[in-house]
Structures are given as C-alpha cells and as structure tokens.
Amino acid sequence: MGEESSVSNFREYIRIKTVQPSPDYASCTAFLKKQADDLGAEVLVYECVPGKPIVIMTLRGEDPSLPSILLNSHTDVVPVYPEHWKFDPFSAHKDEDGKIYGRGTQDMKCVGIQYIEALKQLRQQGHKFLRTIHLSFLPDEEIGGMDGMEKFVRTETFKKLNVGFALDEGYANPTEKYTVFYGERSPWWVEVICPGQPGHGSQFLPDNAGQKLRRVINFFMDFRDKEEKRLKDNPQLNIGDVTTCNLTMLKGGVQYNVVPSVLSVGFDIRIPPTCNLKEFEDMISQWCKEAGEGVEYKFHEKAMVQNTTCVTDGKNIWWDTFRASCQKEDLSLEKKIFAAGTDACYLRELGIPALGFSPMNHTPILLHDHNEYLEEKTFLRGIQIYCTIIKDIANLRC
C-alpha cells in the first residue's frame, strides 16, 4: 500500500535542513510556496531581516471584515548530534513500526503540515469559512524569534492580517491526554561578572574573582534547589508553574598558575507568569551585592511578557470553541503554562488570544532530543483533529 500524500509532504519537509545556525530558508520557502499552490491559497513572502523569510498563506473568508485566524508555526530546527541518532536526522526515515525519525518531527514541522493538510481536506469536502485564515511560517524561533515574530508583529503587514485568535505549537504528551498551553514562562539569560584581585596561583589573594564566583553560583543554585523541591512536593504544580535556573556558561582564566582578574557565569532562568519580575531582578541584584565588591550582572535575554490567554470556561469564546472542538474529537485536555518559549508570546503581548497545541498523545516528549520521532498514525490523527478545530474556529460568529 502506498504512503499517504500528507505523510510524504511531511517527510519532504523534514529533509529540508533548516537547522540553526545556518537554516536553508531558500529551499524551505520554495517548498512552502508549492504547498500554497496545492492548497489554492494566496502566498506572501515577507522579510523583516534579509535572508529570513516569513511565508504567509491566506484563504479569504466569506466575511473578511471579521478578525482572522492565524495558524502559526516555525520553520527552523535546533542542531543535532548525528552520532547519537539511529538514522540520519534529516532523512525522515520511517521504520517498520511507522515511526518517522527526523529533526523537527515534533518541533514543529508536523504542525505546519497538519494545518495545510487539514485545510486541503476541508476544502475538498466543500467547506467554506466565515473568517479569513492565515498560515504563518516564521524563521528563527529556535533562537528567540527576534528576527522573526518579534519584528513581524510590529509591521503594517502583520497589522493588516487583522488577527483575532492564533494557534501555535505545544508539545507531546506521553499519556492519553493532550496538552494545551495558555501562556509561557519568561526566559532570562543572565551573565554575572565577578572582578577580583589577580596574581600568582600560589597565594591566598584576598577579594579574588573565584571567591565571588563561588558565592554567586551558590545563591543561584540554592534558589534552584528550592524551586525544584517546591515542584516535587506539590503534585498540583507543573514545571511551567515554577522557576527553573540552570548554570549554562562559564568564562575566564588565562592559565593554571594565574589567578584571573575577572570570571563570569551565565544562567538560563525561566520565570512563570505568577512571579513578580521586578522583585525577581531585585533578588538577583542583592545576590550580586552580597557576593562581593564590583560584582555586576547583565542580560543577554530578558523577556518581560507575562500575558496569558483566558482558559476559564464561559469567559473566552475562543477557548470555549476550541474546547468544544476537542470534545467532539473525544480529546482529554491538560491546561498548562509552557515551560520554554514560543512565538505565541509576541502575539499575547499584543492582547491576541493564543493557544499552544500540538496534537500528539501517547508520544514521548522528544523536542530538541536525539532520535526525535513522530508516529505516522499520530501525525494522521492530528490532521483530523485540526480539521474539526479549524472548521469551528474559522466559522465562529462573535
């Protein structure tokens, strides 16, 4: 039996090496333009930054004055360590069990293709849509989206899309349930710089950089331990409800017998919407003061967006419609704060309700992991789920 065309399209998309730090956006754009032609959609290629194309496919609704629906996905994927993979991570190998291996199978090329294939099916069945539907394919999400969605939402081109509601990525759920995300944590990348007395490695030099660095690390890692304990002790909490803090960078030193004049340490911190960001920064500032004279910090990333989408039943017509669509498909939903970051944060910052949803249950969470895969049957089931969701939200009258 031959492979379904939707699966073949998915596998072709995986084979395009849009891997950071040098994504092949040109081949990707050519592929997406062909998909737009097959769908019968208008297509626009827009660049906020040269060489980083944003592809917008549009299906005009019967009442284009109504706020539109945005189905967002990103085209780039994270780097791989090929030696740790069973198969070439860009071969889209399908094994005898129907598992499709490849970077981006879960994060998130599956969703981009599922949008397209769901709309193909709906149009073939004769469905029409009250609202205009836009499918957006954004670059550079995996490195923060600064040259992608962050810039795009500030343009007149984006404003003309008149977006009223958006869907973006979620991630897999190993259980029977499906996870839906209504907000996300704020990523802070902090570098702490510790200056001190330099000199010969054989001395007890006072006020040296290593002593200060140790104190800084202790402050951050003690806080990390408390948050980890809070998560473990409270079964009602998910990882998106607490603050994670991980040491990710160390810099400094010239040789083994020289005490350096400066050392620095970097941390990746993810802060939930329930945390007061000013108070959190005040805490970091106090730690630096207590670590020693001259210790300073600077941010390499400091997201301040804490907007969430209302997912209280009866309070948000978009949520109610999405939830009802999922009920039609007999899906059991888990509502969570996304542990990492997505392009949806830039939409929520504008007040646009956005939900993160990737229809993958009974699937291990493998985004950014070795041997990332998605089962063919799960991919195909996701298309059917999106058929129901898209049809309902695109015909919502409100």
Cα–Cα dist 188/144, whole Å:
11
CB 108 within 8 A of CB 169: yes
Cα–Cα dist 213/195, whole Å:
9
Helix pair 109-124, 5-15: axis angle to 10 deg: 150
CB 326 within 8 A of CB 382: no
CB 361 within 8 A of CB 330: no
Q: Which residues does residue 138 pair with via DSSP β-bridges, in sequence order?
A: 74
Cα–Cα dist 32/294, whole Å:
52
Is 141 a residue of the active site?
yes
Cα–Cα dist 65/53, whole Å:
27
The catalytically annotated residue of 76, 140, 184, 372 is 76
Tally Cβ neighbours within 10 Å of residue 275.
14
Is 62 a residue of the active site?
no
Residues in Cβ contact with 309 at an 8 Å cutoff, skipping those fewer than 6 apart: 182, 183, 316, 318, 319, 348, 353, 354, 355
Which of 42, 41, 45 minimizes the C-alpha distance to 28? 45
**How is residue 9 written in tokens?**
């399209």
The catalytically annotated residue of 107, 140, 141, 142 is 141
Measuring CA to CA, how many Å separate 75 from each of 124, 372, 379, 383?
26, 16, 17, 18
Helix, strand, coil shares of the chain, percent, nearest 5, are 35, 25, 40
Ranges of beta strands (E only) in 143-242 are 163-168, 178-184, 186-195, 199-200
Which positions are catalytic? 76, 141
